[in-house]
Each structure stands twice: as C-alpha cells, then as structure tokens.
Amino acid sequence: MASGGSTAASGGNHPLQSPPVDSAPLLGSPPTYKDVMGKIKAAKDEAKTGGDFMQKFCGIICGTLGFIIVVGVMLVIPITMIAVGSINLHNCPAERFIPIWLIVSGSVAAIMQLIFLVDSIVDKCRKRDPAAEELHQAMFHRSHNWVLGCFWFAWFIAGNVWVFRIYAPNTSEMLEKGLHCDHVTYYLAFIIIAMVYFIACTFLCCCSCIICCASVSIRNRLSTVR
C-alpha cells in the first residue's frame, strides 16, 4: 500500500507534458527562397528532357507570391491602354482602328491577368489533393488561357498592321486635317508592340539557355545512372 501510495504521489508530481508543436509551415504562407530552389532542384532531378524541366520550371515560378504580385502591378498597363483608347477614340483618323486596338487589347489582357490572379489566390487559400489540382489546372488552361491567348495573338498581329502602316504619322491636328493621329494614342500602341517583341525575344533566349543547360545536366545524370 505504501509503495502504491508513493507511486501515486510520485505520479502526481510529474510535470504536465506540453503537446508537440507542429514545426511545419502554416498553410498559405509564402514559400521561401530555399523552398523555391528546392522545388527547382527536384524538378531538374525528375525531368527526363530539357523541355520537361522548362515546363516544370515555369510552373514553379508562376506559382510564387512574387510573380503573382508582379502580375497584379502590371494591371496598370492594360488599364492605361483602355483609358487612352477610350479618351482618344475619335482622335486618330489616320488609322481609326488604333484606339479600338488599344481598348480591345487592354481589355483582353486585363481579363487574362485577373483570371490568373483569382486562380492563384484560390490555389493559395484552398488546399487541394494533387489529382484534383492537376485536373483543375488542366481545365483552367484549356478553357480560359488558350482561347483568350489565341484571340489576343491574332489581335496583336492586326495591331502590327494598323500601327506600322502609318509609321511616324502626323500628330498635329492643325497641319493636315483628317490625316493626323493623337501622339499619345499612336506612340502608346507603338511602345506596347515593341515591348511585346522585346519580352518575347528575352523569354525565348532565357528559355533556350535554361533548356540547353538542363539537357546537359539531365544527360550527364542519366549516363551516370546507367
């Protein structure tokens, strides 16, 4: 009895153990630099070709919080296009489609960016299992981005024709009535087109370098395994 009582007493003197604390990061917290680099390294180890790695790499970068913020900030560009095109809708008789091109291009670009932002925020706030997430991304890209992207590309080509057909137009309404074009409207459209070409060329050069480096690394890894 005494030993039982002493055991009970000693048991009652044990300090209460605190529940284990989960050291995992909170859901929805932005990934750190190490997390992103770890995903990129894992993608390189899993990729079988340079193109496969490039696809995974773009998916990782587009899912980062920094890229989402950049896309949100860049909404100012299509909003500016819509505003300038609407204000000067009848101030470019030399090529009346240029203000319309600004309005339509800005609207489509804004819709694409908003869809991307909403989808990214939903992905950050809602936890999905891998199968559901893969299905969701496939449906999203198939039903929204491809349709809008193809329309925007065709409209962009039409804008090239309208803008470069009257390259360096007369911007003074007083000199040649009916053959002028508002300088802000014209040169905004010109700069937007030039920026698209610059970004596309830079992206292609970067992609080529990444694919070449990844292909060499993957080839060396596979040859070592064999």
Looking at the domain assignment, is residue 16 inside a domain? no
Looking at the domain assignment, is residue 110 inside a domain? yes
Q: Which residues are CB-neighbours of 221 under 8 A, at least 6 positions away?
A: 45
Looking at the domain assignment, is residue 108 inside a domain? yes
Looking at the domain assignment, is residue 26 inside a domain? no
> For position 60, what pLDDT does the model report?
73
Name the packing angle between helices 183-225 and 76-87 (round to 10°).
150
> For position 33, what pLDDT does the model report?
53
Looking at the domain assignment, is residue 81 inside a domain? yes
> For position 157, what pLDDT does the model report?
96
> For position 84, what pLDDT does the model report?
96
Cα–Cα dist 104/102, whole Å: 6
Largest CA distance in the chain: 115
> For position 25, what pLDDT does the model report?
42
> For position 26, what pLDDT does the model report?
42
> For position 117, what pLDDT does the model report?
83
> Domain residues for 148?
48-225
DSSP codes of every residue in the chain? -HHHHHHHHHHHTSPPPPPPPP-SPPTTPPP-HHHHHHHHHHHHHH-SSHHHHHHHHHHHHHTSHHHHHHHHHTTHHHHHHHHHHHHTTTS-TTSTHHHHHHHHHHHHHHHHHHHHHHHHHHHHHS---HHHHHHHHHHHIIIIIHHHHHHHHHHHHHHHHHHHHT-S-B--TTTSTTSB--HHHHHHHHHHHHHHHHHHHHHHHHHHHHHHHHHHHHHHHHHHH-
Lowest-pLDDT range of 9-18, 51-60, 176-185: 9-18
- Whether the predicted pLDDT of 219 surpasses 60: yes
Provide the whole-model pTM.
Answer: 0.69
Q: Positive or negative, the Cα torsion across 87, 91, 97, 101?
A: negative
- Confidence band for 178, pLDDT divided at 50, 70 and 90: low
Of 66, 102, 60, 109, which is closest to residue 187 (Cα–Cα)?
A: 102
> For position 1, what pLDDT does the model report?
45
Looking at the domain assignment, is residue 14 inside a domain? no
> For position 19, what pLDDT does the model report?
46
Looking at the domain assignment, is residue 32 inside a domain? no
> For position 18, what pLDDT does the model report?
47
Total domains in the fold of the chain: 1
- Confidence band for 21, pLDDT divided at 50, 70 and 90: very low
Contact of 67 with 61, CB cutoff 8 Å: yes
Looking at the domain assignment, is residue 35 inside a domain? no
102-150 pLDDT, tens digit each: 999 999 999 988 888 887 777 767 655 444 454 455 445 556 677 888 8
10-20 pLDDT, tens digit each: 444 444 444 44
> For position 134, what pLDDT does the model report?
47
64-89 pLDDT, tens digit each: 777 778 888 889 999 999 999 999 99
